[in-house]
Chain A
Amino acid sequence: MSAALLEVRDLVRHYALPRESLFSPAPLVKAVNGVSFVLQAGRSLGIVGESGSGKSTIARLVMALDHPTSGSVQLLGRDLHRLPREALRTARRDIQMVFQDPYGSLDPRQTVERIVAEPLAALSDASRAEQRERAAESLSAVGLRATDLHKYPHEFSGGQRQRIAIARALITRPRLIVADEPVSALDVSVQAQVLNLMQDLQQQFGISYLLISHDLAVVNHLCDDVCVLHRGLVVERGAPADLFAHAEHPYTQALLAAVPRAEPPPTRNML
């Protein structure tokens, strides 16, 4: 049996806070407190939760940007946190990230070409000509033009910038893209374009997403499975349609009940 694309087992990450007094032990923040999930190739998993639930910590651990207190992250059978440096560099080609803020995540002083080709430059031995060609390919996959290669980020709108960030993630031909709130900074009409694009890429390249979001509807749109995270623990998991129709855990129910619906029922006591 082939290994799962991503297998996270008993992941724990505690952060020590500054000591309150000289003799007391440093208090711990249990950001992630024993999380396990498996993501099969070609499927997508959403992680929903509110601020402080540990979802961004999970993203950082999966990207090997931070070390777990205990537990493991296996990408295609390789434990990312136990790989030697060089092997980790190779493994990083399979896993790329898209960040929330399309303004902060692109270097304003670099051309789009350098931004998009950067993962190739860092993780492979591709020549400049090859990098340029792959960058153009990547841009066209996200609906931008090759002539955009020579522009700078400030010449693009928020939605186009997020496309550039996605093009950068695509350039290493990854198997998994970790997307941390990829559309929450975008306007509604632009958000829909980016979600459709992410859906197309999923079908076209067989990419899996680990989608971190506070927005249940966005997760519902892109993911096959959802984990609901609360205080560092997965409190409920399942297919979005089932989960949202028959939530069992009180926290999931509270989360669903709090989503404002865009239809005003006539019986509600309007002001």
Chain B
Amino acid sequence: MALLEVDDLHIHLRTPRGPAEAVRGVGFSLERGQTLGIVGESGCGKSITVQALMGLLPPAARVTGNIRFDGRELVGLPEREMCKLRGDRIGMIFQEPMTALNPVHTIARQVAEPLRLHRGLSARAARDEALQLLERVGIPDAAARLDAYPHQFSGGQRQRIGIAMALACGPDLLIADEPTTALDVTIQKQILELIQGLVAERGMSLILISHDLGVIAQSVSHMLVMYGGTIVESGPTAEVFARRSHPYTQGLFAARPALGAPRGTRLATIRGSVPELVDLPPGCPFAGRCGFTIEACHATRPPPETVGPGHVARCIRLDTVRAAEVAQ
């Protein structure tokens, strides 16, 4: 049985501009020890999807569909039950390491907190365990810095402390939402390597959210591309990279400025801008911006089409897209 199975997940939110369906029929599964990346631009629904997994959606959100974690249904689970899972079986690393840590508590106390709460460890035992975790995530001279406060650490070190907290109870699933976006590239590399090392060593499953295709390429074995609240393409990372099939995935790759491209090269752009969730069209969410749009694209949501082993794209124009690619 898969560790995590998400099936036909819909999330309705209330926004200042009216009700919006932020996630529309998302489904995927994650085996124990598997790593999954979610790529997409702002407003595609990637963060909302993992917030639903963590039970962290705003109270006004309405969720339908299924999220089965280790055989247990999380949709509609009472907050008290969810609290027992969160930080214990499911750990999370956030984007902004400064705001994710509490500025008025020492790091030892914050890393020890989930251990005391979920494992019922004594203060002494939890502190010893916290020290080991901080040493494992590479905080230099951790023993001497247990009683330091978050502001006394650099951004990269704070993210390491955040990772130590997420790992404290040995979760089965680690969720990292843009864990390196606020960090410099050299630090980003260290943090990604740390996460990869920990995932392999502890046999955890990983969901990594990123807008950066490079980060996805280096860190995960499977990936989902999200757009307008739906998964437009999914599959093994190597497979999706080698045979990008959905026009949106192709556009995303082409729009990145590449190192070493000659001066004066034009970047391929995707015309228009990301639609607001409130105004999403009923058919394919990418229909307005896609060069291959026909009348039928606007009518209904495209069904999944298999394009390779485990590799699926939701587009009714795949043949035409592929023909255009060959012609180029």
**How far is B254's CA from A11's CA once the two chains are assembled, in angstroms?**
39
Complex CA gap A260/B211 in Å reads 12
Taking a contact as CB atoms under 8 Å apart, the answer to whether B214 and A260 are in contact is yes
Q: Is A261 touching B196 in the complex (CB atoms < 8 A)?
A: no
Tell me, rounded to whole Å, the shortest Cβ–Cβ distance linking B287 to chain A.
15
Contact (Cβ within 8 A) B211 A271: no
Of the candidates B192, B196, B218, which one forms a contact with A264 in the assembled complex, judged by CB atoms under 8 Å apart? B218
Closest residue to B260 on the A side, CB-wise?
A244
- Give the nearest-CB partner of A203 in chain B: B264
0 or 1 for each of B43-60: is its CB under 8 Å from A? (1 = yes): 000000000000000000
Cβ-defined contact, B274 with A199, below 8 A:
no
Residues of A within 8 A of B206 (CB): 271
Residues from chain B with Cβ under 8 Å of A221 in the complex: 257, 261, 263, 265, 267
Candidates B42, B184, B215; contact of A187 at CB < 8 Å: B42
The stretch of A33-41, A57-65, A82-90, A211-219 in contact with B is: A211-219
**Quick check: is A266 within 8 A (CB to CB) of the other chain?**
yes
* B214 contact from A214, A255, A259, A266, Cβ within 8 A: A259
Indicate if B241 sits at the interface (CB-CB under 8 A): yes
Q: Which residue of B lies closest to A264 (CB)?
A: B217
- Is A192 in contact with B269, judged by CB distance below 8 angstroms? yes
Report the bound CA distance from A227 to B256 in whole Å.
Answer: 22
Smallest Cβ distance from A222 to chain B, in angstroms? 9
B256 and A193 contacting across the interface, CB-CB below 8 Å: no
Complex interface: chain A residues within 8 A of B217 (CB): 260-264
CA distance A127 to B252 in the complex (A): 45
- Taking the complex as formed, is A111 at the interface, i.e. its CB lies under 8 A from any CB of chain B? no
Q: Which A20-54 residues sit within 8 Å CB-CB of chain B?
A: 50-51
CA distance A49 to B76 in the complex (A): 47
What 1/0 flags go to B242-265 for Cβ under 8 Å of A? 000000000111011111111111
Please determine whether A241 and B262 come into contact, CB atoms closer than 8 angstroms.
Answer: yes
8 Å CB interface, B262-276 against A: 262-270, 273-274
Q: Tell which of A188, A261, A268 has the most Cβ of chain B within 10 Å.
A: A188
Which residue of B is nearest A193, CB measured? B269
Shortest Cβ gap from A166 to chain B (Å): 16
**A191 contacts the other chain (Cβ, under 8 Å)?**
yes
Contacts of A160 in B (CB 8 A): 273
**Contact A159-B273, Cβ < 8 Å, known A221-B267, A271-B35, A271-B200:** yes
State how many residues of chain A have any CB contact under 8 Å with chain B: 43
Chain A contacts of B263 at CB under 8 A?
221, 224, 240-241
Give the contacting residue for B241; candidates A214, A240, A262; CB below 8 A: A262
Q: Are A260 and B184 CB-contacts (below 8 A) given A159-B273, A189-B274? A: no
User: Would you call A270 an interface residue if the criterion is a C-beta within 8 Å of the partner chain's C-beta atoms?
Assistant: yes
Q: Are B188 and A188 in contact (CB under 8 A)?
A: no
Please tell me if B221 contacts chain A, counting CB pairs below 8 Å.
yes
A213 CB → nearest B CB, Å: 11
Query: Is A122's CB within 8 Å of the partner chain B?
Result: no
Residues of A within 8 A of B192 (CB): 260
Q: Are B241 and A259 in contact (CB under 8 A)?
A: no
Query: Which B residues are in CB contact (< 8 Å) with A214?
Result: 184-185
Say yes or no for B41: interface residue by CB 8 A criterion. Answer: yes
Q: If A50-B186, A190-B273, A199-B266 touch, does A263 touch B257 (CB 8 Å cutoff)?
A: no
Whether A196 sits at the interface, judged by CB under 8 Å, is yes
A216 near B259 (CB under 8 angstroms)?
yes
Is the CB–CB distance between B211 and A254 below 8 Å? no
A195 within 8 A of B: yes
Instruction: Please tell me if A74 contacts chain B, counting CB pairs below 8 Å.
Output: no
Identity of the chain A residue whose Cβ is nearest the Cβ of B215 in the assembled complex: A260
Asked if A187 and B211 make an inter-chain contact with CB atoms under 8 angstroms apart, the answer reads yes
CA distance A218 to B262 in the complex (A): 12
Q: Is the CB of B259 within 8 A of A259?
A: yes
The complex places the Cα of A221 from the Cα of B155 at a distance, in Å, of 28
A34 and B217 alpha carbons, distance in the complex (Å)? 39
Give the distance in Å from the alpha carbon of A238 to the alpha carbon of B160 in the complex. Answer: 35
Report the nearest B residue to A191, measured CB to CB. Answer: B255
Q: Are the CB atoms of B255 and A188 closer together than 8 Å?
A: yes
Q: For the complex, is B130 an interface residue (Cβ under 8 Å from A)?
A: no
Q: Which residues of B have CB within 8 Å of A189?
A: 41, 251-252, 255, 269-270, 273-274
Are B241 and A258 in contact (CB-based, < 8 A)? no
| B165-196 Cβ-contact flags toward A at 8 Å (1 or 0) | 00000000000000000001111110010001
Given the interface contacts A192-B268, A199-B266, A260-B217, does A220 sit within 8 Å of B237 by beta carbon? no
Docked CA distance A37–B128 (Å): 53
Q: Are A218 and B257 in contact (CB under 8 A)?
A: yes
Please, which residues of chain B bring their CB within 8 A of the CB of A1?
none
Central interface residue in A215, A218, A256, A261, by most chain B CB within 10 Å? A261
Q: List 15 A-B contacts (CB under 8 A).
A: A50-B184, A160-B273, A187-B211, A187-B274, A188-B255, A192-B269, A193-B269, A196-B266, A217-B261, A255-B186, A260-B185, A261-B218, A262-B256, A264-B217, A271-B33
Closest 7 CB pairs between A and B?
A: A260-B214, A192-B255, A50-B184, A187-B41, A192-B267, A189-B270, A217-B257
Extra contacts besides A189-B273, A240-B263, A271-B219 (14): CB < 8 Å: A157-B274, A159-B273, A187-B42, A187-B274, A193-B269, A196-B267, A214-B184, A221-B257, A241-B262, A259-B185, A259-B214, A261-B214, A262-B256, A264-B238
